[in-house]
Structure 1
């Protein structure tokens, strides 16, 4: 089987490219419109304006495009191949001696190019743009007293005190509600003369029903010619900082690059913290291109049979059915991995294997 690009590769690639890009634009466009309308409720909070909302939505487009690409790829592929099948062009290609496997390779080549662009965007463009979007929203709502940095964690200000947190999590309480935990916390208090009056380091800062509590505290207080150190295991922290605003400034695992996710996983394991949420997102990034190609190739057999007699509605329905079925299967294995604590690599490898196995059975049946 020859793998070098031929004229029919370009023809099939152009047909698939067109329908995938069109489907992609529709899905992302609808999501952008819904996201923008959802921001109206926050307009007017602090300094958050309609312009901030528009900027926030525009900066999140790369992340939305990355998320919707697998769905757009399978729907677009089915629509493009279905159009060729309905006009008997696939039959003509088969009459020229091209096997179904060779035609499937042509589709895979075209989708591989788009998938490579999406992998690059998901690792470089989307995290940067999402960080900018979060900064715009957080800074506008807080009047400039909060800022989130991809490299420096979370920064916040209240009066003469500046807070820096390396990371944090919003945890569910057993009886309901949430508990915010900030880690690697530093509090910088500035004196009236503009000099650093004290530096407080805390291993963690927790906000629960009774307010803020600092744990494993080390405080250095600076005088004109002296410095004193105080250490306590735990102490309450009297502050008016809003925990909900701080939580919104924390970087979510899905907005981090694979390298940052790996660093976070190692940090949490080293300190005995739960890293499953980060492992879930981390391995989903690695299996992203595999999932896209497996999902689309699993749908290819339908283009050689039933789609020939079906219309656009049938192709659209099958594409959505495939994408939804694959998403549910992946969600099921992912939740099982989290609950039973088995390797996420296995959880993300099983769905494409199952889909390709079913597709292979259908492929052989149609070939027969």
Structure 2
């Protein structure tokens, strides 16, 4: 790459970076305002104050910025290239020997760099701040403790409850919460451990908790009694709402923590799909951004010169939203038909890429 080509590439990358930053700032601002507004309904309940609402919203900023970057990159890239195309600067670059490959590198460079920066930020600051937001939101419900590697802990009378993980099942009014690897520790009046009840899972349907595949160990003064039971009811004051606000959600875990949970669940022959979905979604994140940005390059070379800001913005929104919806569709299909979720994460951006280049490459 000659000196002129390098300077033009740097200039183009700077323009695209500025437009991405501007779009990012606007969309993130709207998202935070909407989240803060939605938290108003919980203010005044169980000690949840306006300050808690504001702080919990601000703590989610890194995660929201991370989630927005794929769409923001596409819109920002199109706006930046559309701005240059409208002023015929892309044509001028080509006339002085700047190749389309150099233009593509300059356009993609900001998105690639930002995706790498956001991965590092999310794995450090983002995860920690999201857990702080979750801690503040726990004021909406009962007091629970979230341990880093052992799930959720709660106290219900003389009973200490622990669940390794949990997820919502069903939908609408028929939804219920299902917990995996449940342990109930009962403490006697003398402070000694009276019994340990282990269950492979617990579910709360129709507001009635039920423990499944139960094994109970009862400690007596001179012996230990081991009982194996199929299903037994569990009377507790713990509710779905209080647990859902506290459970270790995959989105709040780092890659290392996700991998640890996956290994643990697979060793115990439990369903780890909710964690594997989050894990591979995190790893395919930079690939998705790069492929989506590459997908819209034909617009820059072919159809942005006459469209202006409005057309660039419209195309960016269509491509970004389409990719997001397709990803959700393919991930849901992988969950239903039990195929590898990695295929779903590849198919979504690849479908958008094929569609854009299939219809527009011939116009370049």
TM-score (norm 2): 0.89
In 1: Cα distance, 2:105 partner to 2:184 partner: 58
Q: Is the 8 A contact 1:197 1:222 kept in 2?
A: no
Partner of 1:347: 344
Residue 318 of structure 1 deviates from its aligned partner by: 1.0
Q: Is the 8 A contact 1:134 1:148 kept in 2?
A: no
Residue 211 of structure 1 deviates from its aligned partner by: 2.3
Q: Deviations over 1:58-80 (max 9, x none)?
A: 11111111110001000011111
Residue 197 of structure 1 deviates from its aligned partner by: 4.2
In 2: Cα distance, 1:272 partner to 1:97 partner: 60
Residue 117 of structure 1 deviates from its aligned partner by: 0.7
Q: Deviations over 1:176-216 (max 9, x none)?
A: 623333333333444555x3342423123332337233342
Matched, 1:314 2:335: no
Partner of 1:141: 140
Q: What are structure 2's unaligned runs of at least 5 residues?
A: none
The 3 A distance-change label for structure 1 pair 263 and 197 is closer
Q: Deviations over 1:202-254 (max 9, x none)?
A: 1233323372333423234466xx66444241433332222321132112223
The 3 A distance-change label for structure 1 pair 102 and 163 is same
Residue 17 of structure 1 deviates from its aligned partner by: 0.8
Partner of 1:128: 128
In 2: Cα distance, 1:240 partner to 1:265 partner: 30
The 3 A distance-change label for structure 1 pair 181 and 353 is closer
What secondary structure sits across from 2:245 in the alignment?
A: helix
Report the RMSD for the aligned CA atoms in angstroms.
2.7
User: What does 1:154-303 align with in structure 2 at a 5 Å threshold?
Assistant: 154-172=152-170, 177-192=174-189, 195-203=191-199, 204-209=201-206, 211-215=208-212, 216-221=214-219, 228-233=224-229, 234-303=231-300
Q: Is the 8 A contact 2:187 2:195 kept in 1?
A: no
In 2: Cα distance, 1:227 partner to 1:53 partner: 52
Deviates more, 1:241-250 or 1:288-297: 241-250
Q: Deviations over 1:158-188 (max 9, x none)?
A: 2343322222223228x96233333333334
What secondary structure sits across from 2:270 in the alignment?
A: coil
What secondary structure sits across from 1:6 in the alignment?
A: helix
What secondary structure sits across from 1:249 in the alignment?
A: coil
Q: Is the 8 A contact 1:201 1:218 kept in 2?
A: yes
Q: Is the 8 A contact 2:141 2:245 kept in 1?
A: no
Partner of 1:91: 91
Q: Is the 8 A contact 2:163 2:181 kept in 1?
A: yes
Partner of 2:148: 150
TM-score (norm 1): 0.88
What secondary structure sits across from 2:44 in the alignment?
A: coil
Q: Is the 8 A contact 1:184 1:201 kept in 2?
A: no
Count residues with an aligned counterpart. 361
In 2: Cα distance, 1:277 partner to 1:197 partner: 33
Q: Is the 8 A contact 2:5 2:97 kept in 1?
A: no
Q: Deviations over 1:316-352 (max 9, x none)?
A: 1111011122223323332332233222222222233
